[in-house]
Amino acid sequence: MKTIIVPVDFSEPSEIALKTAASIAKKFDSEIIVLHMLELSDSWMTTNEDVLQQQAVFLIKLAESRFREFLDKPYLKGIKVTPIVKRYKVYSEVKLISEKHNADLIVMGSHGTEGFKGLFVGSNAEKMVRNAQIPVLVIKDEIVDFEVKRFVFACDFELENLPAFHKAKAIADKLAAELILVNVNTPGDNFLSTKDAFKKINNFLHEAKVSLEVEIFNDYTVERGILAFGESRNADIIGLPTHGRKGINRFFMGSIGEDVANHAKTPVMTFKL
């Protein structure tokens, strides 16, 4: 894990994300790219009016100045930290920066059950998660020493989830964490008998070429099942696959992925299929 990106707006959740990234970076000797987006419209930078251009330059200089104080933290000592100020929207800039620097992970802060605020208002957080080609770790509570012992990965074990599973397994292996697989079984149209569920799971594990146990956890909704199972296993991370621009896959219909990230006390990591 060579490069970690942390989008910040200088808020408390941003610093929590930065501390988490620093803890991970120290374990893997990673570089951290700290990214701040002004989200200026193109008109600010292309207009012929000197006043608007000067204001845009002022905002960029102000962000650079705030960076100096924001990054002057003891927990960043010994870590290579590169601050970057960009002017466009969150999701597009993160995607471009991650590709340019061949980043392995994005760490972002959240306000929890109230949803994403500040930098990650409205659809920006959703678009960033859905557009990021690399895993995104959403964290909202400060963890002094981010040590992952139990990594819960939840999916429906359809074969389309194989790429997300392999990414999750690779990260769990790097963190020397136990990878705990779970399939949440719910009443209704998607209900499967134990026999049918394990038939699908065994086919998935065969295609993945791994020998791991999978637990079937019954609950009324997928979201409740994931949260309850994660809590019961004292998970340090809950992993979820996503479909990117197409939204959450069939297993994570509607806003379940976002709901899990918002309501989980545990950090949540998403993997784009």
pLDDT in tens, the chain (273 residues): 899 999 888 888 889 999 999 999 998 899 999 998 876 655 555 555 665 666 667 777 777 788 888 999 999 999 999 999 887 666 777 888 899 999 999 998 876 554 444 444 334 455 666 677 899 998 888 887 788 999 999 999 999 999 999 999 999 998 899 999 999 999 987 889 999 999 999 999 999 999 999 999 999 999 899 999 999 999 999 999 887 544 444 344 445 666 787 778 899 998 887
Domains of the chain by start residue, with CATH: 3-139 (3.40.50.620), 150-272 (3.40.50.620)
| CA distance linking residue 226 with residue 219, whole number of Å | 9
pLDDT of residue 212: 95
Residues 6+ apart with CB under 8 A from 208: 162, 165, 166
Sort residue 94 into left (φ over 0), alpha (ψ -120 to 50) or beta: alpha
Contact 82, 72 (CB under 8 A): no
